[in-house]
Structure formats: structure tokens, C-alpha cells
Amino acid sequence: MVSPTIGSIFPLLLPLFGLLLDLCSAADTISANRSLSGDQTITSSGGHFVLGFFKPGSTDRYYVGIWYGKDPKLTSVWVANRETPVADHSTSVLKIADDGNLVLLDSSGALIWSTAVNTTSNSTVAVLLDSGSLQLRDASNSSMVVWQSIDHPTNTWLPGGRLGLNKITGMTQRLTSWKDSEDPAPGIFNLELDPNGTSQYFILWNSTNNYWSSGTWNDQIFSLVPEMTQNYIYDFQYVSNPTENYFTYSMKNPDIISRFVMDVSGQIKQFTWLDNSQSWILFWSQPRQQCQVYSLCGAFGSCNENGQTFCQCVRGFSARNQSDWDLGDQSGGCVRNTPLQCGDRANSSNFQRDKFFTMDNMRLPVNNQTLDGIGSDDDCQLACLNNCSCTAYSFAGSRCYVWHGELLNLQDQYSQSEASTLQLRLAASELPSPKSNKKIVIWTVVGAAVALLVCLALIWFVVWRRRSSRLMRASKAVGGGLVPFWYSDLQRATNNFSHKLGGGGFGSVFKGTLPDSTPIAVKKLEGLQQGEKQFRTEVSTIGTIQHVNLVRLLGFCSEGTNKLLVYEFMQKGSLDTHLFKSTSTDLKWKTRYQIAVGTARGLAYLHEQCRDCIIHCDIKPENILLDDSFAPKLADFGLAKLMGRDFSRVLTTMRGTRGYLAPEWITGVPITAKADVYSYGMMLFEIVSGRRNLENTEEGNTAGFFPTLVASELMKENIGSLLDQRLGGDADLEELERACKLACWCIQDDESCRPTMGQVLQVLEGFLEVAMPPIPRSLRLLTETPENININFFYQTQNVSSSQSSQSKSGTSNSSQTRSNASNSSGA
């Protein structure tokens, strides 16, 4: 065993030792001769990973961990002493113990952490590999590995790592989230293989409630993760043999740095490192909606997809531990501010019966009890009041549901059909009472408050006058016919930002009305890094871009950190609300086609006709707005550039919009206008089908990745089946086929095979014929494709097979000639 005295006798000598011996042992190795203390680190031979002491965030607790060599923000992938930090890293030491284990000793020499294996030899070394794994192995024989960190993952799953189950020892390799964003201790969420032996992965809350499942492995993908077919960067492998089941992955291109993380938010997230912007982009996450995470907000906490923060305590409750809550650990939930008047208290002198607070549009908590034989809301309420442990009831569909104890898994503003009204039990004093006998007190308080407000208003007015004269001068500098607004004007126009229209990647949008009763949409930009002058320049550039298919920028506001853009208001909202609502029948085929054409026109204008080519970067139905005659206008153009020149910001904020991302976003090649063409193609599929490309159907099965279906139906010449069912087959089949083929062309893996937006427009308008598209490589995985189908090009050329030549017309311009050459080289 370790002698606990070494550290305590020579606490100051140990770091010195390490320093001196740096010279004679490899910098990626901890050996009997070289231990680690203080700020010393070892680095893997290629420089990819670093091991040493670190402290997360603003804490002063130290952990031994492994992090990326490239990322200065110290993104850890593994932590040794998750639950047992040390207070002082300079006197703690990570070393090889006498028994050959790698151990961490604190300043008193006490054992904090150990690899805890039975080693056959006591001459071992610990080597940090470029795969991110720390290996404990025999000093003289490197293939005798006794322990490796990649077999003991914490919250990160690295390429080459395994998540699985050893059937003999019963050991599982699972990911466990951090407790909160600054505490690596095991949190409440796990990702693990089904312990029952099926090939599906679950995300579990508190090791019990399974709120996400990958579906079973079907030799290529997990059945509930259809987006795996659209995968350009990983090789996945599921292994099942008599001793173990596990899943592992590797990178197709080893230069790409990627990691999967079981996040504090209860979602699994996949990040990819973008070298040129030195940042991680969130590429994929599940469950897609934050509020689908089971009991994310703890007991008496409620989740809200549209809120400023996802979690909030319900009325009458506050966070049990505010500091945990702020760091993203809401599992402690909320506690009641005022105890219920029940039991013993019911006999006290100023007894008031508990009341109920009505919460509409809620996802009801789990674990209800159904009370039979209760026929009215009043009786249901009484049944709840009469039991001190009852905390809420709901009377719905003439049934009485009650809840006892903690309320878990609440969600506000729930939009699904199961949304219902919950009656939350609160002490009477928590709710306004109509006959308050404290009127005098209240009026005194109100009087004082009013007096105070008047004073403040006066002060504010003076300050405002001074500032506005300054702003007045500044705003004269802006051209482009844009109106500079005061923040206070916009506050008034939007009724203090009370009517939220939506939240995009760059900030929230609110409805407002100008004094002349012109409706406007006000976008509050978030996370803007730019200086005042640059902001004004960019905004006035955006202001000069005007087109019938682009949402018009009317004005802006720039006061300190308040940066807002004022747009014309679009009556019918965004395309997704019409397209994906199962009941909506607004969009006939003709309208849809016009939307596709209009959008293409707007994009073509941005790409080809503006002074500088503008890449939109975020084409999706949410960004297509419709006026009262359903004419489409593109929103948010120019913002990618405004928000950050490297585009990385765009990606990190595109939560859940992975379905629209062109592959070059991940492979790291420069982004061109063709990235928009890809997104446009993805959207075109959705316009045709009326559903998301990546979507779970109501039965919980996946509907399949729609573009794959298109590809196969195109081949079977069975195009009518692709159409949105709501249209009842009422569509121009020629237009439909054109749209489907075009969309397939737009999503080609190789950007040089995709048409330009100008060509897209010509095809849609019927000026250009479109040939049978090749199936993009990524889609081919799931499609039975005859070999010979991939030999054609976007435009028909002379060497085309006879079966398709009937569809072709000449229409070949110079540019299409070069295009066919480009396609030729990559078509097979």
C-alpha cells in the first residue's frame, strides 16, 4: 500500500522532483520517477490531450483531468476524482504507488483516488495517448495494459471509447452528467445500454426514469435516430458477443475532433471542433426539446420551452438551493414559501383554508391518482383539500386526478394536445384575497412607492434628455433610410416586450405597433459582440438590401448593450406554423409552389444580385415569413455576418436545426452560398411533404428520413405518394416531380454538384429541365439503389442514358456545361 507519509514529509520537494526529472522521462508519461503536482501537466505525443490538475469555473476545488490541447478553454473529457476534489493542487500529487497503481494523494498524504487494479508487476507507467486515454501499463512491455481511462468514461464519450455492458462481470460503461456546470460529481442523468440486453441506449433520470431511447440497432443505425444516415464523419459499430455488448465509434477523418457529452441539461450532445473559429459547434442533441428531459426542473419546478430560462419554480415556491439552480442543477427542485394550513395548523386562531392556483396549458405532473365517483370540479377540489398530503388536482374530461407530495415533470405553455389545467394547492396567504383587512398598510406602501417613482422619473427624465441629444447627433450618421429608435420607444411599442412572436438563433422577436398603428416585429439581438460603429455600418448595409421576397428592415436601436432591429410585420407568421401543424390546410399546392419560388428568388437575390454576396446560413421554415396573401419573405438575412464573421456563432445557436446543415459545416471547408442551397433543398422536401425531414411520428416510431424516401420513390416513378396527405393528391404532378428532383440535387454532398440559387429558380419557373438526380452518398446507405442510377448529372448532357433523355431539353448554357463536368467527376 501507499505510505501516507511521503507527501506529508516532503510536500515541497515533490513538485521539485517532478520538475528536475522532466528532462529524463517522456512528457506524456507518469512513472515511478515522475509524478505530477501543481501546474505540471503531461501532454500526449501529438499534443492532442493534456493531463493535469484543473479547477472548473470559479471554484477553488482541484480535480485531475484530461482536456484538449487545442482548446484554451480547458474542455475536460475525463475526470479522475469526480467526487473528491483536493483543496490545494501544489501539495497534492498524482504518482505511481508502490503497488503499481496510479494514485492521487492530497496534501496530508491521504489516498484520494486510485486506479484500484491488481497489478501483476509494480513497475508500471501511466501514458497519455493521443486518443485521449490514459493507460496504466507495464513499464517494459507496452502491450500489458492493466487499466485505461477510456474504459471508465465520465461524461464524455471519445472516439474509440466503448459504451456497453460486460455480461460476465455485470460492469457497465455509461456516461454520467456532471452535477452542475462547475461540479464534475456524478449528476442525475445517465446514458447507458439497456441493462436487459437489448441493443438500445437509454437516457435515464436518477437511474430509474427512461426518457429517451435510441431504438434498437439494425446493423446500420439505431432505429429512432434516423439522422444517423446523414452521417459524414463517423464510423459506428455495435458489437455483441458472449462476453460483452458495446457500441463504439471512430472518425472517418481523424483530423476532425469530436465528442459526445452527457450534458448537465439532461441532453446528449455531439460537438465538433472548428479550428478556424477556435470553438465547439453543437452538431446534434437528443432529446431535441429541452423540456422532454424528465423532471429537468425538479420537484415543483416547471419547464418552459419559450421562457427566458427553461426552469422556473411554480407560484408560491422558490429554489431549494439557488446556487445549485444557477449552475444548472435543478434536481433539488423548489420548496414551498408558506406552509399549507393543514393538520396541526388548522386549529390555530387565524386559520384560513388553503386555496388553489390555476395553471393553464400545463403538462401534468407524473404519478397522478384517479379518484372515481367524483363528478364535479368542486368535489374534486374538496377531495384534495381534505387530505393534507394532496398538493394539486385536475378535473378534466369529467375525471378527478389528484397528486400527493412532490410534483414532478411539469411543463408550462405546453402545446401538445394533452395540455391541461392544473390546480396547485397553496396557503391562502400566497394568493391575493379579495377582502384584505390590511388595506391601510397597503395604501401607505403604495403612496410611498408612487412618491419614489415620481422622483425616479424626474431623475430619469433629466438623464434621458442628456442622452437623447447625444444619440440624436449619433443617429444622423446612419444612412439607408433606416429609422433609429429609442429603446424606450420600442418598449412602449411592444408593450414592454410582452407579445413574443418567437425566438430565433439571434434573439427573441416581439410584436409591436408604432404610434401610427403600423404593426412591427422587433428583434432583440442577444450575444452581440460588435462595437457601436461596426454595428451601425452592418445594419445600414442590411437596410439597403430590399427585395419583394426579403423581410424589410425598417429601423434599429442601439443603446449600450440593447441592440434591436425593427422589421415589417408579417401577418401570417412563419412557414413552419402552417406547414407542420397537422390541422392546418392553409397551404394548397399552388401556394406551396409559390412559396418555394419566392424563397428561391429572395435567396438568389442575396447570393447573386447584391453588392456583396450574402450567405444566409440559416435557411429553414422558421425563417420564411408569410404576408397576408402567403407571399414568402426571407427573415434574418445578413445576421450571420452581423453576429460574428466566422459563422461559428450561427451554428452554436442553431439548436435542433441540424437537418438543414450542409456537410461542409462539419468537414471544415469554407462555407459558400452552396450551403444555403443545401438547406433550401432540405426545406423543399418539407414543403412537399408537410412534415419535418427528421421527425418522430406520434406512435413514437420514426417516419424515416424523408429525403431517403424521395430518392427511392423518384426511382419507382411513384412521386404522388410523396405529397402531403392533407392535399389529398391535389397537386400539379409535373411541378411536384420537378421540386423533388430539384431538392435531391440541392442536397448533394459535393457542393459543386448542387445548382446555384439562380438555376434553382430557373428550374422552378420551368425555364430549365432537370435530370434524374444521383442519390447523395449519405442517403444511399438506406436506399436500395441500382448501380447505374448514379451516372446522370444535374443537366442532361449528350452522354445520357436513353431512358432519361425524353425528359431532357437542350437548355444548356455555358455554366451548365461546366457544372456537368463537375458532376461527372463526383457522380459515381
Ligand X SMILES: *[C@@H]1O[C@H](CO)[C@@H](O)[C@H](O)[C@H]1NC(C)=O
Q: For residue 399, which phi and psi values (nearest 5 degrees)?
A: -125, 150
Q: How far apart are CA 454 and CA 457, in angstroms?
A: 5
Grid cell in block for residue 317? 415556491
Q: How far is the CB of 96 from ligand X (least distance, A)?
A: 7
Cβ atoms within 10 Å of 118's Cβ, excluding its own: 8
By the rule CB under 6 A, 286 interacts with ligand X: no
By the rule CB under 6 A, 32 interacts with ligand X: yes
Nearer to ligand X, 244 or 538 (CB): 244
Q: How far apart are CA 158 and CA 166, in angstroms?
A: 19
By the rule CB under 6 A, 417 interacts with ligand X: no
Strand, helix or coil for residue 825: helix
By the rule CB under 6 A, 206 interacts with ligand X: yes
Query: Binder to ligand X among 23, 73, 118, 241 (CB under 6 A)?
Result: 118
By the rule CB under 6 A, 261 interacts with ligand X: no
Nearer to ligand X, 374 or 514 (CB): 374
Cβ atoms within 10 Å of 292's Cβ, excluding its own: 17
Nearer to ligand X, 123 or 799 (CB): 123
Binding mask 325-344 for ligand X (x = CB under 6 A): ------x-----------xx
Q: How far apart are CA 153 and CA 163, in angstroms?
A: 8
Region near ligand X per CB under 6 A, out of 241-249, 316-324, 516-524, 651-659: 316-324
Q: How far apart are CA 771 and CA 793, in angstroms?
A: 7
Q: Find all residues with CB under 8 Å of 802, minimum gap 6, and list them.
A: none
Q: How far apart are CA 234 and CA 258, in angstroms?
A: 9
Q: How far is the CB of 5 from ligand X (least distance, A)?
A: 15
Burial 596-617 (b: 16+ CB within 10 A, else e): bbbbbbbbbbbbeebeeebbbb
Nearer to ligand X, 331 or 558 (CB): 331
786 preceded by cis ω (within 30°)? no
Q: How far is the CB of 513 from ligand X (least distance, A)?
A: 39
Q: How far apart are CA 598 and CA 765, in angstroms?
A: 10
Nearer to ligand X, 107 or 321 (CB): 321
Q: How far is the CB of 263 from ligand X (least distance, A)?
A: 17
Cβ atoms within 10 Å of 712's Cβ, excluding its own: 16
Neighbour-count burial of 218, counting CB atoms closer than 10 A to its CB (0-12 exposed, 13-18 middle, 19+ buried): exposed
Nearer to ligand X, 32 or 110 (CB): 32
By the rule CB under 6 A, 31 interacts with ligand X: yes
Q: How far is the CB of 293 from ligand X (least distance, A)?
A: 13
Query: Binder to ligand X among 59, 108, 120, 123 (CB under 6 A)?
Result: 123
Q: How far is the CB of 314 from ligand X (least distance, A)?
A: 16
Region near ligand X per CB under 6 A, out of 10-18, 138-146, 215-223, 611-619: 138-146
Q: Is 511 annotated as a binding residue?
A: no
By the rule CB under 6 A, 364 interacts with ligand X: yes
Query: Binder to ligand X among 3, 306, 387, 697 (CB under 6 A)?
Result: 387
Whether 489 sits among the annotated catalytic residues: the reply is: no
By the rule CB under 6 A, 309 interacts with ligand X: no
Q: How many residues does the chain have?
A: 828
**Cβ pair 769, 737 in contact under 8 A:** no
Q: How far apart are CA 17 and CA 35, in angstroms?
A: 8
By the rule CB under 6 A, 324 interacts with ligand X: yes
Region near ligand X per CB under 6 A, out of 56-64, 300-308, 323-331, 522-530: 323-331
Tell me the CA end-to-end span of the chain in Å, nearest whole number: 63
DSSP secondary structure string for all residues of 155-202: SEE-TT-EEEEETTT--EE-EEEEEETTEEEEEEEEEEE-TTS-S-EE
Query: Binder to ligand X among 5, 59, 108, 122 (CB under 6 A)?
Result: 122
**From 180, 618, 636, 749, active-site residue:** 618
Nearer to ligand X, 35 or 599 (CB): 35
Nearer to ligand X, 276 or 358 (CB): 358
Q: How far apart are CA 39 and CA 596, in angstroms?
A: 58
Query: Binder to ligand X among 60, 72, 141, 348 (CB under 6 A)?
Result: 141
Strand, helix or coil for residue 759: helix
Query: Binder to ligand X among 26, 144, 371, 727 (CB under 6 A)?
Result: 144
By the rule CB under 6 A, 33 interacts with ligand X: yes
Q: How far is the CB of 607 from ligand X (least distance, A)?
A: 50
Q: How far apart are CA 811 and CA 778, in angstroms?
A: 30
Q: Find all residues with CB under 8 Å of 190, minimum gap 6, and list them.
A: 174, 175, 176, 177, 202, 203, 204, 207, 262
By the rule CB under 6 A, 196 interacts with ligand X: yes
By the rule CB under 6 A, 323 interacts with ligand X: yes
Edge-first strand order for the sheet with 258-262 is 156-157, 258-262, 268-274, 279-286
Question: Residue 124's closest CA among 104, 147, 105?
Answer: 147
Give the total of residues touching ligand X (CB under 6 A): 30
Query: Binder to ligand X among 216, 248, 321, 594 (CB under 6 A)?
Result: 321
Query: Binder to ligand X among 1, 23, 24, 168 (CB under 6 A)?
Result: 24
Residue ranges in contact with ligand X by CB under 6 A: 24, 31-33, 98, 117-118, 122-123, 139, 141, 143-144, 194, 196, 206, 321, 323-324, 331, 343-344, 347, 364, 368-369, 387, 389, 401, 404
Task: Catalogue the active-site residues.
Answer: 618
Numbered residues of the known binding site: 524
